[in-house]
Structure 1
Amino acid sequence: MDHSENAIADTRRWLERAVIGLNLCPFAKAVLVKEQVHFAAAAAEDPLEDFERELDALLALTAQERDTTLLVLPQGCEDFYDFIGLVARAERVVRKRKLEGVVQVASFHPRFTFAGVEEDDITNHTNRAPWPTLHLLREESMDRAVAAFPDAASIYETNMETMRRLGPEGWEALDVGAKP
């Protein structure tokens, strides 16, 4: 496997074991089971080019064919603050293309830290993936999923409590980090 294939495999394992396994996102299992999650690895020198390519590819298909995309960035975004800059640029692309309300960009990073929280706090892992990742979500699909979930607003608090109960040892046991 090459570097990109490894990063995608690591991301799939994280999605299956952490995001779905811990029910951090109650909407993720259905789209994965239906094979509507597309995994891609950035290869361009500027990952924004890959983001735009994946955005176009997502919008060219129906939600039944591809509901969401996880764009893994195996190189060039190791620094969390550089990554946040890329996220802002990706969100600008969505705005410039007048796709607000159509596509949403979520982000995950191995060094993610909530504002005002210590870097080693276990709750940061709710937003940590093995590799920097841009998640392209269809707003319409999110709206349907949230409408079907009785208390979507409680997901954040539930996730924090899940991580506290799991603890660092439990997280480590999931084996969802980047493989060398």
Structure 2
Amino acid sequence: MSRGPLDAQRARRQLEAWLEGAVVGLNLCPFARPLLGSPALRVVVCEASDSAAGQREMDGCLLAEFDLLLNSTRDEVATTLLAFTGALASFDAYLDYLDHANTLLQAAGLEGIVQLASFHPEYQFAGEPAQAASHYSNRAPLPVIHLLREDLLEEALARWPNPERIPETNIARLNSIGRAALAAQLAEWQAL
């Protein structure tokens, strides 16, 4: 994926459009609707680069969000989308950083408290054909690590009928839309 410089305001516009259009609009996450527009949903933009100094800056952004989640009530901060505008454009680099982020989460003692979900413009599920529409359930306009409070996630899953069916429902919905239409929509959000 090739991207020019992306300022924080533009990144937020792209993510808000994606949240409204895909995550909530296509009901890819049935638990997201109540948080849309809520101050308890944080959208944070990290403008670090892929350099060594940028890696330290990305770590600082991530650790600051871990700290904020721990020191906030769930009404203040329910969940955070941490977006990267100057780094992790390559899906492989993103996956490497996601592994590193999970290591930082464990080192901070947050395993079982915070869970990381992953979104990337080139997201690819292992074992799925490259052209599968299913990849779009985790494709976002830019690289994002979603920090979720596990207790809130568990509560939402307990209230939802057949939560194990969410992925297959999403795949069916995305297949019905088609890969070409999904790719065009993602490109529109990236152009905002």
- SS of the residue corresponding to residue 94 of structure 1 reads helix
Distance in 2 separating the partners of 1:174 and 1:39: 18
What amino acid is the match of 1:86?
Y
- SS of the residue corresponding to residue 7 of structure 1 reads helix
The Cα offsets for residues 40-62 of structure 1, whole Å up to 9 and x where unpaired, read as 10134221221111111222211
- The reply on whether 1:179 has 2:191 as its aligned counterpart is yes
Structure 1 length as normaliser, TM-score?
0.93
Q: Which structure 2 residues correspond to residues 148-167 of structure 1 after superposition, within 5 A? A: 148-167=159-178
CA contact (8 A) 1:18 1:174 kept: no
Equivalent residue for 1:31? 35
Q: Percent identity?
A: 34
CA contact (8 A) 2:141 2:186 kept: no
Distance in 2 separating the partners of 1:173 and 1:81: 23
What amino acid is the match of 1:158?
T
Distance in 1 separating the partners of 2:129 and 2:89: 19
Equivalent residue for 1:51? 62
Structure 2 counterpart of 1:96, from 107, 118, 122: 107
Distance in 1 separating the partners of 2:158 and 2:24: 19
**Pair 74,146 (structure 1): closer, same or farther in 2 beyond 3 Å:** same
- The reply on whether 1:13 has 2:17 as its aligned counterpart is yes
Q: How many aligned residue pairs are there?
A: 179
Deviation at 1:29, TM superposition (A): 0.6
Distance in 2 separating the partners of 1:175 and 1:145: 31
Segments ≥4 residues shifted beyond 4 Å: 173-176
Distance in 1 separating the partners of 2:186 and 2:46: 25
**Pair 89,173 (structure 1): closer, same or farther in 2 beyond 3 Å:** closer
CA contact (8 A) 1:17 1:176 kept: no
Distance in 2 separating the partners of 1:59 and 1:39: 17
Q: Which structure 2 residues correspond to residues 52-71 of structure 1 after superposition, within 5 A? A: 52-71=63-82
Unaligned runs of 5+ in 1: none
Structure 2 length as normaliser, TM-score?
0.87
CA contact (8 A) 2:47 2:87 kept: no
RMSD, aligned CA: 1.6
Distance in 1 separating the partners of 2:18 and 2:25: 9
